[in-house]
Amino acid sequence: MWENLSFTRKIILIFFALTLSSHLAIYFFLLHGMGPFAYLLIITFSVMAAGAILIYALSNQMMQPLKEMILMGRAWLGEQKAEQVYSLSVDEVDNLSRLMNRIMQQSRASFAQMKSEKEEIAAILSTLVEHVIAVDMSGKVLYLNAVAEKLFNMNSAQAKGRGFVEVIRQAVLWDILRDCLQESKARFGEIRLYLPDERIFKVHALPLAGQNMSRGALLVLHDVTKIKELEAVRRNFVANVSHELRTPLTSIQGYAESLLSGALEDPKHNRNFVQTIYDQAERLTRLVEDILNLSSIESGRRKPNLEKISAGKLFPQIKEDLKLVALKMKVIIKLDPEAEKVELFADPEQIKQVLINLTENAIKFNRVGGWVSLRAQPYENEVQLLVEDSGIGIAKDDIDHIFERFYRVDKARSSESGGTGLGLSIVKHIIDSHQGKIEVQSALGQGSLFTISLPPCP
């Protein structure tokens, strides 16, 4: 019981014990005739008793703030309700010290948790592909994630506390963000920014709310430039396919109607009509096959089956397959005798298709008596296949576009030759799937040189 008393109460009890014992001593002395000394003791111990009472009163007044602090501390820790009465059965100062230690420990744990959560949020925002910017109610920047920093060339720490327009300098973004801040409603839009190249973004501006009041806004930008480009490519592809299919189908339908209308009995023209229908049907078949080939390569369904092959064995097959076309166009196909020494690590069928497409184009767009050369050579850390011709050549402005779908340098001559406009696009995709590259050197009237570079054999 004694150890549970506070220090001040122990002092008071001691004073009262001394006072009581002094009065007993005085009473004893009076009984034995010791008057003056007894009165001195009475006065002394009375003063001590008065002092003890005063100390008790002062201690209560001094301990009241400590009791209130302990009560508030325990309420903050959730150990008791704020309206509960605190018991004075323990030492207030020692209890307050222990309580403050617990508060400090819990505070450190809370701050550590808050820091961890903040770091987790920052890590999540930094990995987003979307560009995220947070601002307060006055439009001052609070935060930019990593991709937003890169996009606007601005560090988040440097931007913090500065006005949005001062940091971002994009009025169209500020208009959306300002509306969100003023109305506390989400705003959406699609905008074009020049940074310096044109880029298209889906923009979401969302209010940041807390405790029933708006605290700012969050701006999220999603780059849809590539999606828009792919949509444009898809639209162009559909339009081009429709046009390319319409031409042979219209021709087939027209000549078939002529035959049904009586030309079938006309020996002078009926055979030519049937031949035209056959030629257009064959062109239609090539077009559909090329579209399917291109689709399978682009989608990854037609992956190359890599193996070692000899260029010296591949080239004669190309010459044999295109022998009739070369004879018709009176073009000579020349093969490199050194190709026997060159080995490729590629898909035989796909590389054969590449060489056939390039060689057939070189024959069709050549001059009478011209030539086409097939060569192979090691070059640095690569293997090169070269298809060169003495043909009409390609204009400088056309070279950058020849691998695009349905792009034709000479539209009239290409249609006459039965080309689909997809051959070089297929070539480019096959070479890309082999982790290689293809380059073109050409000039009008001076022929062309296509150089294919492939990784060496492992």
Question: 153 phi and psi, to 5 degrees?
Answer: 55, 50
Q: Give the per-residue pLDDT at 53.
A: 63
What is the Cα–Cα distance from 455 to 40, expressed in whole angstroms? 117
User: Quick check: 44 and 22 in contact, CB under 8 A?
Assistant: yes
SS3 274: helix
Q: Class of 225-302 per CATH?
A: mainly alpha
Higher pLDDT, 53 or 201: 201
Instruction: With CA atoms as reference, report the closest residue to 409 among 398, 418, 400, 417.
Output: 398
Token readout for 13 is 């009890």
From residue 434, alpha-carbon distances to 32, 96, 303, 358 in Å are 126, 76, 9, 17
What is the Cα–Cα distance from 220 to 205, expressed in whole angstroms? 6
What is the Cα–Cα distance from 134 to 115, expressed in whole angstroms? 19
**CATH topology for the 304-458 domain:** Heat Shock Protein 90 (3.30.565)
Instruction: With CA atoms as reference, report the closest residue to 452 among 314, 321, 322, 324.
Output: 314
The predicted model scores a pTM of 0.54
Is residue 334 over pLDDT 90?
yes
Q: Which of 102-106, 215-219, 383-387 has the lowest mean pLDDT?
A: 102-106
SS3 391: coil
245 Cβ neighbours under 8 A, 6+ residues apart: 284, 287
381 Cβ neighbours under 8 A, 6+ residues apart: 456
Q: Give the per-residue pLDDT at 290.
A: 75
pLDDT per position as a tens digit, 123-133: 665 666 788 88
Domain boundaries defined on the chain: 2-92, 128-223, 225-302, 304-458
Tell me the Ramachandran region of residue 207: left when phi exceeds 0, alpha when psi lies from -120 to 50, beta otherwise. beta
Instruction: Give residue 51's pLDDT band: very low, low, confident or very high (50, 70, 90).
Output: low
What is the Cα–Cα distance from 145 to 225, expressed in whole angstroms? 20
Higher pLDDT, 412 or 251: 251
Q: Compute how many other C-beta atoms are within 10 angstroms of the C-beta atom of residue 126.
A: 13
CA 207-210-213 angle, to 5 degrees, is 75
Q: What is the mean pLDDT of residues 24-51?
A: 59
| CATH no. for 128-223 | 3.30.450.20
Cα dihedral 355/356/361/364 (nearest 10): 140
pLDDT per position as a tens digit, 65-93: 666 666 666 665 555 444 444 444 445 55
Q: Which of 102-106, 155-159, 320-324, 423-427 has the highest mean pLDDT?
A: 320-324
Q: What percent of the chain has pLDDT over 70?
A: 69
Q: Which of 45-59, 158-172, 233-247, 417-431 has the highest mean pLDDT?
A: 158-172
What is the Cα–Cα distance from 415 to 380, expressed in whole angstroms? 40
